[in-house]
Structure formats: C-alpha cells, structure tokens
Structure 1
Amino acid sequence: MDYPLLNAFWTMCLIFLWVMWLILLFRIIGDIFRSHDLKGWGKTGWLVLVILLPFLGVFVYVIARGHGMSDREIAQAERQQKQLQEYLRKTVATGDDETSRHADSLAKLAELKNHGDITEEEFQKAKAKILA
C-alpha cells in the first residue's frame, strides 16, 4: 500500500470540498422552497437548473438571488422563534392554578434569596413548606 502523505492531504481536501459543495447545494434548494416571492414555475425552473446543471445552477442562483438568502433565513428563524414562544405561552397558561402559584412563590423566594433578604436556611425551609 503506497499512499504518500501528499496524496492523503489531497484526498482530504477533495472530500472537504465535496462536503462543502453538498452543503451549499442543499442550502440553495432549501432557500428555493423557503422563498415566498417565487411562485410555482419559478421554483420549478430554479430546481431544474440546480439539479440538472448543478455547478452552473448554483453559481447563477448565488449571483441572481444570493443577496436575499440571509434575509429569508433570518425571517424563517424569527417565525420559528415566535411559534415557539406562542406555544410555550399557551402551554404554561393552561397549567393548573396550584402549580402556577407554587412556581410564583418559588420565584419570589429565589429573588429574595438572590437579593440577600433571606438566608439559604430560610430559603430551604420556605421552599420545603411550599412544596409540601
């Protein structure tokens, strides 16, 4: 097995470039589907170009629409964050009253302890009383 170090380095570079190419290709395909300003035929045209002529399609897409890729990604992340916050707000709001009262009491106790108004021992006693 004769495989010099330079050949191993060259192989690692090619694998790295191949993986980066796949990442770029999938990001562009995701951006095509994420884009709201493209309609059905526009998305189909870009997909056909990117899939049938991948190098040319990717480079043309990056030149033509690359400036908005980060904006669309940020907008998607903000929508997901808003959905998560709404879900959490709805889920927490549906908790029973006793649990929410305990949580409020524990939060107030923790705040008092953090401000130094009560000691750790007093905090533990009050916490045990609330949880009992």
Structure 2
Amino acid sequence: MKFTHRFAYYLVGLVIGCFFVGLVFSGKDTRCNYFPNARVLNDLRNKPFHYSDEASKVLAEKWIDTSDIKNTLQFGDIDFDKSNTEYKKGKLYVIEGKTLKNQKVLLKVINYPGKAVLESIEKKQAD
C-alpha cells in the first residue's frame, strides 16, 4: 500500500475519532478537579450560597463586596489545617483570598449538604 493511501486512511480515522470525542464532551460541563482545593471550591460555588448576619454586616462596610467573595471562591486557597471540621451540622472551610484592591481576606464558609453559608469575613494582616 502506498504512503498516500495509508495517510488518507489515517486522516479519515483521525477525523472520525475527533468527531466522536467532540460528540461525547460537547454540551457537558466537564471539569477536571483533581486536587482537594479545586474540588471543595467547585462544590461551594455550585451550591446555593447564603450569607450569615455577621457576613452581611461586614459586606455593608464597603471594603469588600460580593464580587470579591466570588473571586475568592474561584481562586482562593483553603487552609485544610483549620478546615474540614464539623461545625453547626456542616463542615467549616477557611478560605484565604484577596479583594480586587489586593486586601487579603479570610472567609469562613460552612458547607451543608444542600447549601453553603458564608459565616464570617475577616481582614487578614500582612505577613
């Protein structure tokens, strides 16, 4: 068999394979969250998110807003030494992040089976 024929068969198989891979993964919200930090943050973002009274008071102070909270839930780092403990019939997670003005913050979020509640917001002192 000539090289051009083999190459043509290869291309036909490649196109068919790419078509099936595209068909399988299209329309799905596929994520590859292999690390614990990414899995927990993804779980917290996908649940209905509520604010406690204490967190609402801090948000009213205007040094932090909900976009900073969402940004921290997207790119923050979870302190697992202080997290994953039973707290008020849920699990407490301590998340370190930054506001858009580069102010370091510490969020305490309670992860319940059906919702996530932002328990408190604290300014973190510069190291």
RCO (CA 8 Å, sep 6+): is it higher in 1 or 2? 2
Q: Greater strand share, 1 or 2?
A: 2
TM-score (norm. length: structure 2): 0.29
Work out which of the two has the higher radius of gyration on C-alpha atoms and give 1 or 2: 1
Pick the structure with more helix per residue: 1
